[in-house]
Homo-oligomer: A and B are copies of this chain.
Amino acid sequence: MPADTRSLAELDRLIHEPARLALTAILSVVESADFLYLQRETGLTKGNLSSHLAKLEEAGYVAIEKTYRGRIPLTLVRLTGAGAKAYKAYRARFKKFLEKA
């Protein structure tokens, strides 16, 4: 019997997107990160990073705080409880899928 592929349909698409998966993975281990750090780490363009972050924020998966380092803007991002939970669930589902094939 083939793997339970039905469970794949339930994957959280918001996290599944590779760019956002990368972001979520990073944020799950750093407590908080700024915009440029995330850009360097993921290799995304500023535009794409900005819009992916906006989506994650809209979903309540990250909280974005716009502040200043001295006088230059600093955008800080951290995973929310909901974001951490969703990421954990995503990983668990995917891991299960990978195991049984």
Contacts and interface: CB of A to CB of B under 8 A. Distances in A.
A29 B41 contact: no
A90 to B, nearest CB: 10
B9 A30 contact: no
A6 interface: yes
B8 A26 contact: no
Q: Within the oligomer, what is the number of copies of this chain?
A: 2
B26 A3 contact: yes
A101 B2 contact: no
Q: Is the interface of A mostly helix, strand, loop or mixed?
A: helix
Interface of A: 2-3, 5-6, 8-9, 11, 13, 16, 18-19, 21-23, 25-26, 28-30, 41-43, 91, 94-95, 97-98, 101
Given A2-B29, A5-B21, 16 more contacts: A2-B26, A2-B30, A3-B25, A3-B26, A3-B29, A5-B25, A5-B26, A5-B41, A6-B42, A6-B43, A9-B19, A9-B42, A16-B18, A25-B97, A91-B98, A98-B98
